[in-house]
Structure 1
Amino acid sequence: MAVRLPRPHRDDVRIALAGLLGGLVLWGLGLGMRTAEEPNVLWPWRWPVLVPLVVMVCCEVLRRQRPRTVLLVGTAALALDTTTQGNIATLVMFTDLAYAAVLYSPLASARRILWMTGLLTVVGTVVPIAVWRTPEAVLVGVIIGAVAFGPATTGWLVRNHRDAAEAARLRAEQTALLAEIDRTQAVTAERARMARELHDMVANHLSAIAIHSTAALSLDDADTTKQALGVIRENSVEGLAEMRRLIGILRDSSGDTEPSAAPTLDGLGALVDTARANGLDVTLDTTHVKLPAPVELAAYRIVQESLTNALKHASPGRVTVTLAQRDGTLSLRVTSPYGDRDGPRAPGSGAGLVGMRERVALLGGTFEAGPESAPDSPDSGSSRDGKIWTVHATLPTTLGGTE
């Protein structure tokens, strides 16, 4: 199986070509770092200079893909270059290999290369001084530091800046992603809140309109029709007022769209009177003091939706609404006859129960809704088969419980 060599980076190719061109120009001009008469020059001819030059050029091409390998090969080529007349281009390209090895190698390898070049610089300074005992011996360490440790240190600094920039970019992307998630969740929560408000404010009036319009169309009695039309008009006006309040919440502007105060438990009496006008036999029993606004709004909407459901689905009989405050909670219970009606008096979507459950969950309370056996009492309002539909919610009345 053939091994596919990595494709060199175009910048590395340019660096290699520049190094080759510079080395050939220097070789052609006869400019070397050493003369043929020096004792360490084992190859006094000019052509051996080209061998380490070409090897170094090949290493430059793969400086990103194989940084550690080309550093080893480049070190051997530099050692070979010291036995010839030498070429400054070969030395300069080796410094670039040391720089690239620290910049592109894995972190552990880059750290080892940095320490090794530093140790080599120290050894190259101390040992010649100890052996030769001349000031000129320091130049050996200076040269090693300039050729190996200096480029490696530069690569380490550039690597740190690159990694810091990448980390900052990732943090910025994560921050933007979290901000988008928060925005999406906020929009979703606001849409759910407005859906609950729209349903709770309008469904009661539209249900009454649907029921009384059906009665007006089905009964051939002028007085009944007139009474039904009066109820329809009253619910239409109230529904329009509620819609304007909702539009005011959405727009928060002046004029007739200015939002009014949210309903409170003080309005339960008027809410029950409206339910009675729509044909429900409702009794209200409430004992409570002033509560936090979110608690009062939720309790009001739950009672409102429960009466709307009773208007649409309950069997003939009494509907009871009971509110009691005790031990830091508000207990709300609405019961209505259940089980005798063949179908609803007005169509429903089931969103009312979902909205009530969401309101209670947002306040950290508990919610239950469903049929249960009625107590043995003439005022229980149960149907003939002894079943009642009960909505029971428990809401915390402290501010900490409304978070």
Structure 2
Amino acid sequence: MRRDDVLSAVLCLAVGLVLLAAGSYMRHGTPVQWFVGPLLLACLGVAVRRTRPLLALGLGVVAFVADVAMGPSLGTVLIVTDNLYAAVRYGPRPLGRWMLGITSVIAVVGGAAAGFIARDLALFAVALVQAGLVGVTPVITALVIRQHEDQAVSERIRAEQVARLAELDRKTAVQAERARMARELHDMIANHFSAIAIQSTAVLSRRDLDPAVVRQVLESVRENSVQGMAEMRSMIGLLRQEGEEAEAVRLRVAEADRLAERAREAGLDVRLRVDGEARELPAAVDLAGYRIVQESLTNALKHGGRTAEAVIGYRPEEVVLTVDNPVDGTGPGLPGAGAGLIGMRERAALVGGRVDAGPHGGGWRVRAVLPTLTAPPGPPGPAVPPSVDATASPSREENP
């Protein structure tokens, strides 16, 4: 039993005894002391109203029947209404519907019986109202309150679900932003660092180079370092911006000749060809295409041979980028983490395009098809295309 329910039962008993002392009962020759028994039963039902609601209902029914048989008394009847209310409020859910039907039938039948026996229509109305107040009203009140509680619980659960979905959306957005930043940092730095690593390795491995060649290589190393630092500063500036996202540097597919020239300085013979008429591309497509060409040339420089062929094809509704290079095992073979091909696929998927990479004609081919019309972006492609056999070219790896 709950402490507050026990205190309520004691208070109800005290009020009931005061009402009995005041004569609030029907006098049919029954000693007033007899009314204390039903009153005690009803008050005991109050004490267990929340812990044992069905017991409270049983005690209330017995107390009501006994009290009506003797009188009835006002105090017991009022306390029995709390027993009915507690049974519906805290008891099993189906009990409420049954109690509503039972009390409604009892009210109508009891009122009709009283009116029929007394042959008085006014008495029928009075008995019907009284039976309704004693039986139907507490049941309806408990049903309404319980329904409101259920609605509150449902709203709380719905709010928690919305909060969880919002948290999942936030985490997804954070992960997507981290992936985007990783792609940008990778594509900005890997190209320059790869060229620096390859050129410095060549200088260290050759002791017969004349000072002019060494100076030329060091100048290329310095240029790659400066360009890498400049692009890093641009990225940092973009990340520090507030408000709407803006492009720090607009990179274009039409500027692929700069990538080819940089690759030539690093020792890769690049033949660049443009098919079709060059035109303005959407910013997202320009950036994706530029980075894909950059990544492909870096990959060829690290793992391919000494030559590479890049073709930029402008078509009415798309731009096709193709980079071919032989795989002859003469490349430096720098270690890779496998993120290059993943990044290219993600970039293409974000603009609704696709990237195919794998062995082709004794070499390696990267082919990207990027739509130039507005199209809904698709999900990122798999990390490794099904058509690529990792064992087909042992000397070929994805760049970091």
Change over 3 Å in CA distance of 1:302–1:115 after alignment to 2:
same
Match status 1:329 vs 2:318: yes
Aligned to 2:46: 60
Please tell me whether the aligned partners of residues 215 and 225 of structure 1 are also in contact (alpha carbons under 8 angstroms): no
The partner residue of 2:155 within 149, 168, 171 is 168
Instruction: Spell out, residue by residue over 1:151-180, the C-alpha distance to the aligned partner (whole angstroms, 9 max, x if none).
Output: 112112211221221121111111111111
* Structure 2 residue runs without a partner (length 5+): 379-400
Match status 1:395 vs 2:384: no
The CA distance in 2 between the partners of 1:105 and 1:88, in whole Å, is 26
Q: CA shift at 1:107, angstroms?
A: 3.3
Root mean square deviation, CA, Å: 2.4
Aligned to 2:195: 208
Aligned to 2:95: 109
The partner residue of 1:250 within 213, 226, 239 is 239
Match status 1:267 vs 2:267: no
Aligned to 2:222: 233
The CA distance in 2 between the partners of 1:135 and 1:191, in whole Å, is 81
Please tell me whether the aligned partners of residues 349 and 377 of structure 2 are also in contact (alpha carbons under 8 angstroms): no
* Structure 1 residue runs without a partner (length 5+): 1-7, 38-43, 375-386
Change over 3 Å in CA distance of 1:127–1:332 after alignment to 2:
farther
Q: CA shift at 1:33, angstroms?
A: 1.0
Change over 3 Å in CA distance of 1:325–1:97 after alignment to 2:
farther
- What amino acid maps onto 2:372 in structure 1? T
Change over 3 Å in CA distance of 1:343–1:260 after alignment to 2:
closer
The partner residue of 2:356 within 368, 380, 385 is 368
- Which secondary structure state, in structure 1, belongs to the residue aligned with residue 69 of structure 2? coil
Change over 3 Å in CA distance of 1:61–1:134 after alignment to 2:
same
Aligned to 1:347: 335
Aligned to 1:189: 176
The partner residue of 1:145 within 132, 138, 146 is 132
The partner residue of 2:283 within 276, 288, 293 is 293
The CA distance in 2 between the partners of 1:30 and 1:112, in whole Å, is 36
Please tell me whether the aligned partners of residues 98 and 152 of structure 1 are also in contact (alpha carbons under 8 angstroms): yes
Aligned pairs (5 A) from 1:30-179: 31-37=23-29, 44-131=30-117, 132-179=119-166
Match status 1:11 vs 2:29: no
The CA distance in 1 between the partners of 2:332 and 2:260, in whole Å, is 24
The CA distance in 2 between the partners of 1:298 and 1:229, in whole Å, is 30
- Give TM-score, length-normalised by structure 1: 0.84
Q: CA shift at 1:71, angstroms?
A: 2.0
Please tell me whether the aligned partners of residues 22 and 89 of structure 1 are also in contact (alpha carbons under 8 angstroms): yes
Aligned to 1:377: none
Change over 3 Å in CA distance of 1:61–1:343 after alignment to 2:
farther
- Which secondary structure state, in structure 2, belongs to the residue aligned with residue 341 of structure 1? coil
- What amino acid maps onto 1:185 in structure 2? T
Change over 3 Å in CA distance of 1:115–1:398 after alignment to 2:
farther
The CA distance in 2 between the partners of 1:240 and 1:154, in whole Å, is 74
Instruction: Spell out, residue by residue over 1:295-314, the C-alpha distance to the aligned partner (whole angstroms, 9 max, x if none).
Output: 22111111111111111111
The CA distance in 2 between the partners of 1:217 and 1:343, in whole Å, is 13
Please tell me whether the aligned partners of residues 8 and 46 of structure 2 are also in contact (alpha carbons under 8 angstroms): yes
The CA distance in 1 between the partners of 2:181 and 2:23, in whole Å, is 84
Change over 3 Å in CA distance of 1:142–1:401 after alignment to 2:
closer
- Which secondary structure state, in structure 2, belongs to the residue aligned with residue 82 of structure 1? helix
The CA distance in 2 between the partners of 1:292 and 1:402, in whole Å, is 13
The CA distance in 2 between the partners of 1:120 and 1:76, in whole Å, is 16
